[in-house]
Amino acid sequence: MPFRLLIPLGLLCALLPQHHGAPGPDGSAPDPAHYRERVKAMFYHAYDSYLENAFPFDELRPLTCDGHDTWGSFSLTLIDALDTLLILGNVSEFQRVVEVLQDSVDFDIDVNASVFETNIRGGLLSAHLLSKKAGVEVEAGWPCSGPLLRMAEEAARKLLPAFQTPTGMPYGTVNLLHGVNPGETPVTCTAGIGTFIVEFATLSSLTGDPVFEDVARVALMRLWESRSDIGLVGNHIDVLTGKWVAQDAGIGAGVDSYFEYLVKGAILLQDKKLMAMFLEYNKAIRNYTRFDDWYLWVQMYKGTVSMPVFQSLEAYWPGLQSLIGDIDNAMRTFLNYYTVWKQFGGLPEFYNIPQGYTVEKREGYPLRPELIESAMYLYRATGDPTLLELGRDAVESIEKISKVECGFATIKDLRDHKLDNRMESFFLAETVKYLYLLFDPTNFIHNNGSTFDAVITPYGECILGAGGYIFNTEAHPIDPAALHCCQRLKEEQWEVEDLMREFYSLKRSRSKFQKNTVSSGPWEPPARPGTLFSPENHDQARERKPAKQKVPLLSCPSQPFTSKLALLGQVFLDSS
């Protein structure tokens, strides 16, 4: 069926806002400085409204000017907005909020919390790593210790019981005080299983406790082992049996951040296995779900189309493509999605591609960031002014349609611009942040390595703030260099201890010593997921010496696989 526009063009022009910052007669792009200030004003209108009307609740209800708890009752919007404050340059408010969070946030509460949402929306790790840059007086040993790090670790430990399943794949919900409820459903979405490696590996590196990275890797590997013969994964799976409950395969809701974390985990950890897994998925996705640079939903075992729809959550995909250097395909898909934005002044949750219109009961736009996120990545890669135009359109549309007295309201229906009484925390954590970074090319987040900070830790000197930040799926930036700050001298100390034992042991031969040296090969999951949490294995994991790395102090780790991090935050294949 050919695409068709089902609303008159005259009505469309009347519904969409007029762009006073549009390119002029000479075709010039929107003025970044002008829109940067507009975005900053948007942030403070929403942020101040939350503080005045909703704190300490999780989120603001902008139509009634009050608050409500949504994901766990720990002032989620304040935590989510913390690193955005620093990116906007507000050091004093960052410092104030850090003190407030230390005094007010308590994870030892009888609340059922989403394992996925608690992990991704808690910006504590990011705020911890940015504390020194924000002028916070950090304690001795930072970044390997600190109050925000301890809070992040406490929250993560509350989530660990969810991973105690026969498959190693976590339950979707956990009670922060009592663990997994006896009647908890074993059905979890794919993204809810595969979206932990960025945060949990960072936490393991900073704390020295491998359990967090271990459980994240097991969950990733179990999903990988559960893919179909044609290389696709479904939407929901039973974490007790490993059987797929929903067999729709695509790149959107319920699956999205699993693919995202394979790429970002590969970059963050320099892990060629994770990148290889994504590239295999990418082949299957192209073969079975891509049609004319759109991505449809298909049956995971047969590849037949099940839903010819575009979901707004899929708009992250062009940005992810840019991270592996696939710029041409990324831009073509981005432009498809941008046409939908232009049609409605936002992205509806579901868009029927053959009909060219919204899907019933999925007409809303909750101010999601994904298309803006892709624009930011692609603009860093290409400098194409079309991407700034999307940023301009987003600012104008959101202000015109969703701005109310107490913040910005979710758009319930893009056809008539009816509003809903909710402002999700990701609006401040992601949407505003990506808009600001799109229009702020000199922001410290975009550092190309020309400046950095040398930090003394208990384990030696390390470099921080040189750029290459990895955003988690809630746009909280992680400094990849920090993962090497809290272990290097420990490794060197263990090497010396090995050499001393060898020197004084007359019974050992040199060949035997080499045979027993710790291997530096890729990580392998345990043979039986159920053994992961036995006390003996956990103690052994804590005592296990890490792989030896011949990395001199004050140097970046080598990148031994085909995908390498470039200056503009992209990964390009050697063949490109």
Of the candidates 256, 373, 396, 430, the residue annotated as catalytic is 256
The residue whose two tokens read 């609303």 is: 7
Half-sphere CA count of 457, side-chain side, radius 13 A: 27
- What does the alpha-carbon distance between residue 570 and residue 323 come to, in Å, rounded to a whole number? 4
Pick the catalytic residue: 370, 373, 430, 440?
A: 370
Instruction: Single out the residue of 529, 570, 465, 468 nearest to residue 216, CA to CA.
Output: 529
Strand-pair partners of 305: 298
Burial class of residue 442 (count of CB atoms within 10 Å of its CB; 0-12, 13-18, 19+): exposed
Task: Reply yes or no on whether 93 is catalytic.
Answer: no
Residue from 209, 123, 221 nearest 469 by CA? 123
Whole-Å CA distances, 408 to 47, 344, 397: 10, 18, 11
Give the Cα-Cα-Cα angle 220, 333, 84 (nearest 5 degrees): 65
Nearest to 259 by CA among 279, 230, 240: 279
Whether 154 is catalytic: no
Cis preceding linkage at 182, omega within 30: no
Both tokens assigned to 245: 């409950």
Catalytic residue among 117, 326, 389, 393: 117
Is the separation of the CB atoms in 392 and 19 below 8 Å?
Answer: yes
Among 465, 353, 345, residue whose Cα is nearest residue 413:
345
Residue 370 is among the residues annotated as catalytic for this protein:
yes
Sign of CA dihedral 117, 122, 125, 130: positive
Contact 412/420 with Cβ under 8 angstroms?
A: yes
Q: Where does 473-546 show beta strands of DSSP type E? A: 477-478
Residue indicated by tokens 């790090």: 149
Q: Which helix (H) or strand (E) holds 336?
A: helix 327-344
How many whole angstroms separate alpha carbon 476 and alpha carbon 28? Answer: 32
What is the DSSP track for 421-436? S-B-THIIIIIHHHHH
- Among residues 80, 271, 349, 474, the one annotated as catalytic is 349
Please answer whether residues 374 and 333 qualify as being in contact, where contact means their C-beta atoms are separated by less than 8 angstroms: no
Eight-class DSSP state of 445? G
For the chain, helix, strand, coil in percent to 5 are 45, 15, 40
CA dihedral angle for residue 305, residue 307, residue 310, residue 311, rounded to 10 degrees: -130
184 is catalytic: no
Active site residue ranges: 117, 256, 349, 370
